[in-house]
């Protein structure tokens, strides 16, 4: 059963079409990465899921319930951490954590203390004095301490230092191991790559790619580094080969997956000395879409 | 050592002045403008000595003395009147100005890490403090001289050069004193808020010590810098010794601040921010608790202000009859009603002013919800299992409670003071009822604010237009000869003028129904719309 299901979601802000038919599904127990360039519509999708914004068209359900109508019921079973955590300046971090946990109804004292320690957060300070990272920790501690079935994170680590990011990843992993479902929107692709089972890429209000990382890699390019005895003629002109870089007899390029076989055959004629291949990183995938986006927006504007 | 510690102070002074090239002139212009405006207005309102003596009579009671200090009641010239009514308040404002400016240039800069940049340049450790002290000293001297000479320049008969200068210098030396206080607390406290808070606490304490002293034993007042200010008796006895004391103490405070700055590390302090609670109370863990907690300080300050307002209105009740005779303006505003004393007839007008003023804090409490939304804090609450209805209802309860407390305190204050100054006072029920009868009108205003939050969140500011409209049409309606239906456009226009008129329930029921309808529509709108954040 899908924990989160979004079908043909549209959202208009005045005349501006922020979401233009988003489709998403999160299965029980998986970590779903939600990535896309700035302004693509990630936060808007998440806010509709939270019932804070009302969809113009389409359907969003969580736990099989309508995200708008049954918001209160749904929220009993989920925790949300925004990227830009805004807190009440005259309350202390500890008070805000208790407030957020208390509103949700759960209370796990032991877990709270452990989290405070792991995230190295002083709960006796007024929120006014917290840095961005510390404000984010407040929301993270409150989320992890309340033990929900679904976590929704919107760029939760944008202000955390690498050490804290590590702690965050550990807790997300632990949540997954405990059978929880996680929706993680992030610009830190290494984090998404490390944690997520499946990834959805959104651009201009549409999901343009989604699936497991290996499925997505399959559709894309592989990085190859070859050194041959004899120089390979006209490699640049070969179909499906991109970004060729020459360094003496060593060549570095990318190959479209469907051309890989042919390219290897061709190259092997020239006596391979060394061959290294690397799967594309999420960054490569993402960059490809991003570059593509710029082409289309330029075209669209003219 | 001291010299090198203040190296390069000249360029820092220039720098400080440049940063405040708008702020300081604005403060000065504002203060001086009011200083010269008041005697002109008084001269206009009380042109003859007889009228001034009536006023003196009215004001000669302990409640007023506690508020504004002692005055030269025997010889109540325009000058003496200005000193009596304005010197203390203006001195408090000057003190506040000095505190805010000093903290801004000392602890705030340190806290923000700005003066670290400066310390890395070839400037002495004490240079920033002394540059600030220098700038504030100059500011206060300018204030003293300009306000002194401008008062004299008004050319009013009773305002001679000596009195005018003393008035100005009393203000300037208060500024110097609180410059010193703030400079010391800027060393002592770790945060700029802490330093500002402690300095303002000293200012308030000075005010209250003086208030107690002025009504009981004048020697006590001498322990307060503000008590010294009123002891100058500008335009009557013209005493200069209190100014000398103030300047002398200021110099000591300047030295103390320098000493404390010299013996501490940069960024360090003698008092550390107190650790707050690590856990929330049970009460806080609900929207209502949260809203109450985040508005607590504003609530308490407003509550005290409303009580003081009620007391100050009540304290003039004793001599109202004589005061009214011959004042056409005021007589015109009253409803000429047979069988009621002038004092009684004055009550509905007072209650109206207090009722509309008491509407301000509950509307602010209601609009807090939209403020929270704009600051992106509502989303954290709505992401928890809290319905929009519950959120809005919590805020409504807070606002309605707030309004009830405000209007009650203003009525209670008025009754308490009237009881103290009048020989034949009113019953508590009469006064409290006359004040509480405005509550339904207040509920309509709160309802209108809620309606805007739910239905037109971009236009929540419009409610203030309605408040001002209510005030103008109802308070000045009689004067301006407005048709009655315009008054009735405001909920305050429907309230029976107790105790002069009889109680009428029809408009009350009507107002409560209107409030209920606005509230219901607001709820419907709020549950349907997008939350911005
Ligand atoms: N309340 C609003 N009114 C008008 N436009 C809005 C509103 N909220 C979002 N938008 C627009 O909708 C688009 C999608 O915004 P959204 O915040 O969902 O992007 P995002 O993918 O989260 O971007 P980022 O990575 O920068 O967080 C943006 O172009 C944004 O300007
Ligand atoms: Mg976003």
CA A217 to chain centre: 16
* A94 belongs to a structural domain: yes
ipTM of model over 0.85: no
Residue A159 shares a structural domain with residue A131: yes
* A111 belongs to a structural domain: yes
Residue B1 reports pLDDT greater than 70: no
Residue B57 reports pLDDT greater than 90: no
The residue among B204, B21, B181, B192 whose CA lies nearest residue B99 is B181
* Predicted confidence (pLDDT) per residue in B291-320, tens digit: 999 999 889 989 998 998 898 888 777 666
Nearest by CB to residue B380, choosing from A100, A102, A126, is: A100
Instruction: Label residue A179 by pLDDT band (50, 70, 90).
Output: very high
The verdict on a CB contact (< 8 Å) between A76 and B290 is: no
Dist. CA B441–CA B356, nearest whole Å:
9
Residue A251 shares a structural domain with residue A126: no
Residue A258 shares a structural domain with residue A193: no
Instruction: Label residue A298 by pLDDT band (50, 70, 90).
Output: very low
CB-ligand 1 contact for A36 (6 Å cutoff): yes
* Predicted confidence (pLDDT) per residue in A204-227, tens digit: 999 988 888 877 776 677 888 888
Q: What is the pLDDT of residue A297?
A: 46
CB-ligand 1 contact for A104 (6 Å cutoff): no
* A296 belongs to a structural domain: no
- Spell out which residues have Cβ within 5 A of ligand 2, the ion: A 43
Question: What is the residue-averaged pLDDT of chain A?
Answer: 88
* A58 belongs to a structural domain: yes
Dist. CA A14–CA B149, nearest whole Å:
59
* A284 belongs to a structural domain: no
* A205 belongs to a structural domain: yes
Residue A148 reports pLDDT greater than 60: yes
Per-residue tokens: B124: 């002495």
List chain A residues with CB under 8 Å of B191. 129
Q: What chain B residue is nearest to A121 in terms of C-alpha separation? A: B278
Residue A186 shares a structural domain with residue A59: yes
Nearest by CB to residue B293, choosing from A73, A91, A124, is: A91
Residue A187 shares a structural domain with residue A91: yes
Q: What is the pLDDT of residue A295?
A: 46
Residue A22 shares a structural domain with residue A150: yes
Residue A146 shares a structural domain with residue A226: no
Nearest chain B CA: its distance from A115 CA (Å): 14
CB-ligand 1 contact for A44 (6 Å cutoff): yes
Q: What are the beta bridge partners of residue A198?
A: A32, A212
Instruction: Label residue B169 by pLDDT band (50, 70, 90).
Output: very high
CB-ligand 1 contact for A16 (6 Å cutoff): yes
CB-ligand 1 contact for A15 (6 Å cutoff): no
Residue A44 shares a structural domain with residue A71: yes
* A292 belongs to a structural domain: no
Residue A296 reports pLDDT greater than 50: no
The verdict on a CB contact (< 8 Å) between B278 and A104 is: no
Number of domains in chain A: 2
Residue A72, chain B, CB below 8 Å: the answer is yes
Q: What chain B residue is nearest to A55 in terms of C-alpha separation? A: B530
Residue A247 belongs to what domain range?
A: 221-279
The verdict on a CB contact (< 8 Å) between B530 and A52 is: yes
Residue A141 shares a structural domain with residue A271: no
CA of A42 to the centre of ligand 2 (A): 6
Looking at ligand 1, which atom is closest to the CA of residue A205?
14
Q: Parallel, antiparallel, or unpaired for β A181-185 and A150-154? A: parallel
Q: Whose alpha carbon is nearest atom 25 of ligand 1?
A: A38
Nearest chain B CA: its distance from A158 CA (Å): 17
Which contiguous run of DSSP H or E holds residue A65?
Answer: strand A65-66
Nearest by CB to residue B280, choosing from A51, A71, A102, is: A102
Residue A231 shares a structural domain with residue A181: no
The residue among B69, B254, B61 whose CA lies nearest residue B170 is B69
The residue among B511, B426, B32 whose CA lies nearest residue B40 is B32
Q: Are B387 and A77 in contact (CB under 8 A)?
A: no
Q: What chain A residue is nearest to B281 in terms of C-alpha separation? A: A95
Nearest chain A CA: its distance from B123 CA (Å): 29
* Predicted confidence (pLDDT) per residue in B198-235, tens digit: 999 999 999 989 988 888 888 989 999 999 999 999 99
The verdict on a CB contact (< 8 Å) between B531 and A52 is: yes
Q: What is the CATH number of the domain that holds A94?
A: 3.40.50.300
Residue A49 reports pLDDT greater than 50: yes
List chain B residues with CB under 8 Å of A104. 384-385
Contacts of B427 (CB under 8 A, 6+ apart): none
Q: What is the pLDDT of residue B114?
A: 66
Question: What is the residue-averaged pLDDT of chain B?
Answer: 88
CA B348 to chain centre: 24
The verdict on a CB contact (< 8 Å) between A85 and B380 is: yes
* A300 belongs to a structural domain: no
Looking at ligand 1, which atom is closest to the CA of residue A45?
18
Per-residue DSSP letter, A231:
P
Q: Parallel, antiparallel, or unpaired for β A65-66 and A57-62? A: antiparallel
Burial class of residue B177 (count of CB atoms within 10 Å of its CB; 0-12, 13-18, 19+): buried
CB-ligand 1 contact for A89 (6 Å cutoff): no
The residue among B243, B231, B209, B174 whose CA lies nearest residue B66 is B209
Per-residue DSSP letter, A127:
G
Instruction: Label residue B480 by pLDDT band (50, 70, 90).
Output: confident
Residue A164 shares a structural domain with residue A273: no
The residue among B37, B12, B127 whose CA lies nearest residue B89 is B37
Q: What chain A residue is nearest to B374 in terms of C-alpha separation? A: A86
CB-ligand 1 contact for A82 (6 Å cutoff): no
* Predicted confidence (pLDDT) per residue in B391-438, tens digit: 999 999 999 999 999 999 999 999 998 888 787 788 999 999 999 999
Dist. CA B384–CA B287, nearest whole Å:
11
Residue A111 shares a structural domain with residue A179: yes
Q: Whose alpha carbon is nearest atom 2 of ligand 1?
A: A13
Q: Return the SS3 of A114.
A: helix
Q: What is the CATH number of the domain that holds A233?
A: 3.30.70.260
Nearest by CB to residue A100, choosing from B193, B293, B384, is: B384
Q: Is the dihedral of CA B210, B216, B220, B222 positive or negative?
A: positive
């Amino acid at each position: 059963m899908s924990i989160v299901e979004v079908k043909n979601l549209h959202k208009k802000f005045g005349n501006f079409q922020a979401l233009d038919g988003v489709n998403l599904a999160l299965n029980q127990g998986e970590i779903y990465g939600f990535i896309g360039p700035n302004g693509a519509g990630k936060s808007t999708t998440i806010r509709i899921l939270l019932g804070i914004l009302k969809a113009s068209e389409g359907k969003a359900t969580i736990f099989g319930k309508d995200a708008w109508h049954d918001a209160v019921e749904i929220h009993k079973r989920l925790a949300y951490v925004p990227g830009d955590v805004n807190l009440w300046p005259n309350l202390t971090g500890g008070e805000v954590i208790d407030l957020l946990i208390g509103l949700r109804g759960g209370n796990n004292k032991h877990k709270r203390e452990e989290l405070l320690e792991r995230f190295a957060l002083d709960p006796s300070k007024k929120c006014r004095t917290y840095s961005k990272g510390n404000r984010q920790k407040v929301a993270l501690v409150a989320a992890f301490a309340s033990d929900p079935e679904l976590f929704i994170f919107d760029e939760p680590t944008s202000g955390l230092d690498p050490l804290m990011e590590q702690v965050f990843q550990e807790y997300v992993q632990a949540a997954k191991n405990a059978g929880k479902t996680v929706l993680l929107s992030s610009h830190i692709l290494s984090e998404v790559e490390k944690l997520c089972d499946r990834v959805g890429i959104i651009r201009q209000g549409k999901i343009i790619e989604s699936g497991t990382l290996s499925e997505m890699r399959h559709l894309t390019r592989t990085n190859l580094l070859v050194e041959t005895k004899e120089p390979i003629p006209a490699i640049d002109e070969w179909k499906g080969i991109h970004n060729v870089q020459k360094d003496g007899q060593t060549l570095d390029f990318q190959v479209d997956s469907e051309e890989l076989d042919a390219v290897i055959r061709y190259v092997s004629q020239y006596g391979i000395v060394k061959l290294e291949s690397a799967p594309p990183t999420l960054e490569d995938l993402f960059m490809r879409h991003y570059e593509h986006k710029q082409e289309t927006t330029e075209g669209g504007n003219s | 050592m001291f010299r090198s510690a203040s190296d390069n102070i000249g360029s820092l002074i220039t720098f400080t002045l440049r940063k405040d090239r708008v702020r300081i002139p604005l403060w000065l212009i504002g203060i001086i403008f009011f200083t010269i405006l008041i005697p002109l207005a008084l001269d206009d309102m009380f042109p003859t000595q007889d009228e001034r003596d009536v006023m003196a009579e009215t004001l000669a009671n302990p409640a007023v003395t506690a508020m504004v200090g002692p005055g030269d009641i025997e010889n109540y010239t325009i000058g003496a009147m200005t000193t009596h009514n304005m010197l203390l308040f203006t001195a408090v404002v000057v003190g506040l100005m000095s505190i805010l400016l000093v903290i801004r240039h000392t602890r705030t800069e340190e806290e923000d890490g700005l003066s670290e940049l400066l310390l890395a340049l070839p400037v002495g450790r004490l240079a920033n403090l002394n540059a600030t002290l220098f700038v504030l000293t100059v500011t206060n001297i300018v204030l003293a001289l300009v306000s002194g000479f401008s008062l004299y320049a008004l050319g009013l008969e009773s305002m001679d050069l000596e009195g005018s200068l003393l008035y100005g210098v009393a203000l300037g030396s208060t500024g110097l004193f609180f410059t010193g206080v703030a400079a010391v607390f800027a060393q002592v406290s770790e945060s700029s808020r802490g330093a500002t808070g402690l300095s303002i606490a000293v200012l308030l304490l000075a005010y209250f010590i003086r208030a107690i002293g002025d009504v009981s034993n004048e020697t006590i007042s001498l322990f307060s810098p503000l008590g010294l200010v009123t002891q100058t008796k500008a335009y009557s006895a013209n005493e200069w010794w209190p100014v000398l004391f103030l300047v002398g103490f200021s110099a000591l405070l300047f030295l103390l601040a320098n000493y404390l700055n010299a013996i501490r590390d940069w960024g360090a302090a003698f008092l550390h921010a107190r650790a707050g609670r690590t856990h929330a109370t049970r009460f806080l863990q609900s929207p209502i608790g949260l809203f109450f907690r985040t508005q607590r300080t504003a609530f308490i300050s407003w509550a005290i202000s409303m009580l003081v307002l009620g007391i100050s209105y009540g304290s003039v009740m004793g001599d109202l009859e004589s005061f009214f005779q011959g004042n056409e303006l005021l007589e015109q505003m009253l409803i000429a009603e047979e069988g009621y004393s002038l004092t009684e007839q004055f009550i509905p007008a007072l209650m109206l002013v207090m009722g509309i003023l008491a509407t301000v804090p509950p509307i602010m409490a209601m609009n807090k919800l939209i403020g929270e939304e704009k600051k992106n804090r509502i989303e954290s609450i709505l992401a928890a299992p809290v319905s929009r209805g519950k959120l809005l209802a919590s805020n409504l309860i807070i606002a309605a409670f707030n309004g009830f407390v405000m209007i009650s305190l203003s009525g209670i204050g008025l009754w308490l003071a009237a009881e103290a100054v009048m020989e034949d006072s009113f019953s508590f029920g009469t006064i409290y009822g006359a004040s509480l009868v405005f509550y339904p009108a207040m509920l309509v205003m709160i309802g209108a604010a809620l309606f805007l939050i739910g239905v037109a969140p971009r236009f929540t500011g419009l409610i203030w237009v309605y408040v001002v409209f209510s005030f103008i049409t109802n308070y000045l309606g009689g004067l301006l000869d407005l048709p009655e239906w315009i008054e009735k456009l405001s909920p305050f226009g429907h309230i029976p003028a107790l105790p002069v008129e009889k109680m009428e329930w029809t408009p009350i029921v009507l107002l409560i129904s209107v409030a209920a309808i606005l509230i219901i529509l607001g709820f419907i709108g709020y549950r349907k719309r997008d939350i911005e954040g």
